[in-house]
Amino acid sequence: MSLDAVLNRIDEQMPAATERLLQLLRIPSISTDPAYADHCQAAADWLVSDLQDLGIAAEKRDTPGHPMVVGHVAGTGPHLLFYGHYDVQPADPLDLWERAPFDPAVEPTPQGEVIRGRGASDDKGQLMTFVEACRAYKDVTGSLPCRITFFFEGEEESGSPSLVPFLKENTEELRADVALICDTGLFQSRTPAIVTMLRGLLGEELTITGPDKDLHSGLYGGLAMNPIRVLARILSDLHDDRGRVAVPGFYDGIPELDEAVRAQWAGLAFDHAAFLGEVGLAHPAGEADRTPLEMLWSRPTAEVNGIQGGYTGAGFKTVLPAKASAKVSFRLVQGQDPLRLRAAFRQFVRDRLPPDCSVEFTDHGASAASVMSTDAPAFEAARRALSEEWPEPAAYVGSGGSIPIAGHFKNILGTDAMLIGFGKEDDAIHSPNEKYDMESFHRGIRSWARILDALA
Amino acid sequence: MSLDAVLNRIDEQMPAATERLLQLLRIPSISTDPAYADHCQAAADWLVSDLQDLGIAAEKRDTPGHPMVVGHVAGTGPHLLFYGHYDVQPADPLDLWERAPFDPAVEPTPQGEVIRGRGASDDKGQLMTFVEACRAYKDVTGSLPCRITFFFEGEEESGSPSLVPFLKENTEELRADVALICDTGLFQSRTPAIVTMLRGLLGEELTITGPDKDLHSGLYGGLAMNPIRVLARILSDLHDDRGRVAVPGFYDGIPELDEAVRAQWAGLAFDHAAFLGEVGLAHPAGEADRTPLEMLWSRPTAEVNGIQGGYTGAGFKTVLPAKASAKVSFRLVQGQDPLRLRAAFRQFVRDRLPPDCSVEFTDHGASAASVMSTDAPAFEAARRALSEEWPEPAAYVGSGGSIPIAGHFKNILGTDAMLIGFGKEDDAIHSPNEKYDMESFHRGIRSWARILDALA
């Protein structure tokens, strides 16, 4: 049968597929930093060229930010929309990398080979699992088993400012029977998973200004208000002593977890001590009355992602600074309105400003949570296909990360999304020494071949 | 009489004196940053050479850090020890300077000419007021009116690690009848002042570690402890709602202000609204039940001088960082033991650490407060001399800044110090666009000539 031939072709072509991924990983397509804009263009060009090599009509499409890559291939069967992103997180702190982040390589490890480099797992390696599955299908059968639209974004790591306008302008072109999103992971690094619950994300930056210039803390200390003191007080107030977020109305409208879902999650036997132990921690830090999987998947959070003020170089400087700032993000769940919470957070901050201080806010994006219905037949077909490829049967799970694209596909295109990915928990995405297991890459490609076959 | 001739000589030589100061200001002798060590050497060399031009036996004296400059000139009359420091604060943030910080110049302003550049006021300009007074005295009379030891330090802005060992090793050489320290300012930019009360300084840096690597806030947020959250809580707890420092025992042993001193300070009619208004503030931020001058001179403080954690570049990064750190300083007053308070602060921090987090401390120096006795005749002689030079009579005042050298002179050499300086409040020391008024420089030189004459 042709699926076996496709799977064999995938196995044979792994060295070439790996070399192609390494090429893409060498491009430092950091979307959040304007200094890397040309590299984002280069990554998009590379993908256009690679899709064209597969005989797919692909092109780079300009946006006010980094370009989209869109490619179409005709076919029978259902129309699939495949999404991935070619942009990556900044690589700092550079001194913690054991090799240059954009000089990727295959490395042996006691747990098997890994592909090491920024973006290996998030999301270039994942994106390429689907492209390589299509390549093998085409090589063996001369065509793809479904009509497919490829859609790659270059702003996922920087709030996707161009995404919604682009979807709205190209709704007819992009609408499909089902969307496939490859930006998630295996559950507990071993169970293939289809994510059916995603948290949203609200990003805010606040800058507190006190005096109109940096002051000498000896001349002014004790009399002049220090904006770091004000910022620390505000950020400290964000959580109460039970780990709950203290912004008024923050939990309004959040439904309790469905009993069936709660039972399924209990069956996953999540080992939170091991999960935290891998990163040097032991104690759940969220709401004291929630289970660890709820903290990660179905309960909202507030986190400070960055803070800066005063002198932070070597040595000491007795400065009383004019400004202090923080980047704060909220992971949102079903029932929470991002824009209402943005306003509530800003009011929470203003309520804590002493009369001498002012605050400026920068909007770093807002997206609501998504909850998918698993009633559509494609979900069960994909779950069976994944279960055939991997040692353990596939599960429906939640994800603490924010992948707003699923909500946008639903709301703008009317297309339901299946989120399937092969990352592992120790991939160190967004961290130094990011990697993607060769097993993830290899079985990921084979998984997509099986899913394409099942959906055709 | 010869004093008038000396004062005339000072007036004539102002262009040459200014050019010498500009030369010294061009040397970026930033002591806290090891990258500038060679420049600290160069500044010391420049001073040795300049003192030798005056016929003073001067030399650079090595320390484990930046060198000292010591010079002796024999003479009749009392033995004076003059102290200044040739090192300067870092110049950042550079983008707020209107000219390069180490390309100094004389600039016209609506309030008169100023000498602009890092170190102009703190402390190179002040140091040179005394040297130029000596030069004029020598030019006119052929000698100096007193026996003088010149003692210049290069680590004042970085905690003076070599100072105490150097004083202990050279006690007999440096001991004098009275020390003159030129590192303070006029009171309210108009009243010449002799500082008789100085706050001490305790510097601490704390680094909180949570997870052992930077994490993705989507994958871990809600379950993993964020060290920025821990740091914000600790720093927020440093002050209570009445502006008091909450470290246990912090205020133990502090005497209430002497009634005579309180009355004198009340007579200074300090305009705190104008003082704060010059830097864009309006409200005293210290202990609610204290007067503004107490907050600045006789009450201790806690200030965060720097804070850093997570992603602080352009854009946004949903990182949950491994570490967060802050530089904290305490201004100390009479009765407070710096080493006891360091231990109390560290315990205060440890008491607030959740079980998953650890803390490391870095010691950035500790010095006790100093209170001088004004009974010695030199104080009244200097006060009369200052009152003759300036439009308003001189006052005995406190200073919020920490000049530990006064305490070290007293404790190690047994020498009482008079702190006399000519800085103004708008000199922007430790800030961008530091300047020293030409009036301060000119009248400062003339003031020292008068004081030398009075003490002779």
Q: How far apart are CA B34 and CA B36, in angstroms?
A: 5
Residue at B265 is within a domain: no
pLDDT for B428 equals 93
Give the one of B159, B211, B228 whose C-beta lies nearest to A279's C-beta.
Answer: B211
Across the interface, which of B212, B221, B301 has its CB nearest the CB of A221?
A: B301
> Is some CB atom of chain A closer than 8 A to the CB atom of B284?
yes
Write the DSSP symbol of residue B368. Answer: -
Give me the residue label for tokens 């300084």.
B201
Nearest to A292 by CA among A280, A305, A276: A276
Grouping H, G, I as helix, E, B as strand and the rest as coil, residue A302 is strand
Kindly state whether residues B307 and B404 are assigned to the same domain: no
pLDDT of A375 strictly over 80:
no
Which pLDDT belongs to residue A444? 98
Which of B312, B346, B367 terminates a domain? The answer is B367
Peptide bond into B271 cis (omega under 30): no
Indicate if A73 and A190 belong to the same structural domain: yes
The amino acid sitting at A374 is: T
Q: Which of B197, B223, B299, B397 to mutate to test the interface with A (most CBs of A within 10 A)?
A: B223
pLDDT of residue A1: 54
Nearest to B340, CA basis, from B254, B233, B235: B254
Q: Which residues of B touch A214 (CB under 8 A)?
A: 93, 430-432
Closest C-alpha among A74, A103, A165, A356 to residue B285: A356
Q: Are residues A310 and A239 in the same domain?
A: yes
**In a domain? residue B285:** no
Q: What is the pLDDT of residue A247?
A: 98
For residues B224 and B157, state if they share a domain: no
Between chain A and chain B, the number of residue pairs with CB atoms below 8 A apart is: 353
Domain that residue B324 falls in:
200-254+300-367
pLDDT of residue B6: 97
Predicted confidence band of residue A77 (pLDDT cuts 50, 70, 90):
confident
| CA B220 to each of CA A126, B29, B246, B248, B310: distance values in angstroms, whole numbers, following the listed order | 20, 45, 33, 35, 15
B251 touches chain A (CB under 8 A): no
Residue in A326, A331, A356 nearest the CB of B218 = A331
Inter-chain CB proximity B327 and A317 less than 8 Å: yes
pLDDT tens per residue across span A132-149: 999 999 999 999 999 999
Residues of chain B with pLDDT under 70: 1
- Asked whether residue A40 carries a pLDDT value surpassing 80, the answer given is yes
A206 and A186 co-located in one domain: no
- The pLDDT value recorded for residue B5 is 97
In a domain, B261, yes or no: no
Stronger pLDDT, A372 or A246, i.e. the higher one: A246
As for how many domains chain A has, the answer is 2
ipTM comes to 0.76
From A322, A352, A367, the end of a domain falls on: A367
B25, B165: one domain: yes
Any domain includes B240: yes
Q: How far is CA B399 from CA A259, A401, A451, B83, B386, in A?
A: 67, 53, 76, 17, 18
Residue B273: CB atoms within 10 A of its CB come to 13
Residues B243 and B363 in one domain: yes
Of B308, B332, B367, which residue constitutes the final position of a domain? Answer: B367
Between CA B320 and CA B219 the distance in angstroms is 10
The structure's pTM equals 0.76
Q: What is the pLDDT of residues B134-168, one digit of tens each?
A: 999 999 999 998 999 999 999 999 989 999 999 99
Same domain, B215 and B73: no
- Residue B9 shares a structural domain with residue B147: yes
- Could you tell me the CATH number of the domain that includes residue B30? 3.40.630.10
Sheet arrangement for strand B435-437: B105-107, B114-116, B435-437
Is position B281 within any domain?
no
Q: In this structure, is residue A234 part of a structural domain?
A: yes
Answer yes or no: do A424 and A330 share one domain.
no
Residue A3 pLDDT exceeds 70: yes
Torsion (CA) A192, A194, A197, A203 in degrees, nearest 10: 80
User: How high is the pLDDT of residue A259?
Assistant: 86
How much is the pLDDT for A401? 75
Does residue A389 form part of some domain? Answer: yes
Segment A406-426 shows an average pLDDT of 93
Orientation angle between helical segments B37-53 and B14-25, nearest 10 degrees? 160
- Looking at the structure, tell me whether residues B210 and B188 fall in a common domain: no
**Paired residues of A206 in beta bridges:** A326, A361
**Rg of chain A over CA atoms, in angstroms?**
23
**B218 in A contact zone (CB under 8 Å):** yes
How high is the pLDDT of residue B1?
A: 53
State the CATH number of the domain containing residue B325: 3.30.70.360
Q: What angle do CA A409, A414, A417 make, to 5 degrees?
A: 45
Q: Residue A287 domain-assigned? A: no
- B160 close to A (CB below 8 A): no
Please tell me whether residues B358 and B374 are part of one structural domain: no
Residues of A in contact with B237 (CB under 8 A): 236
Mean pLDDT of chain A: 94
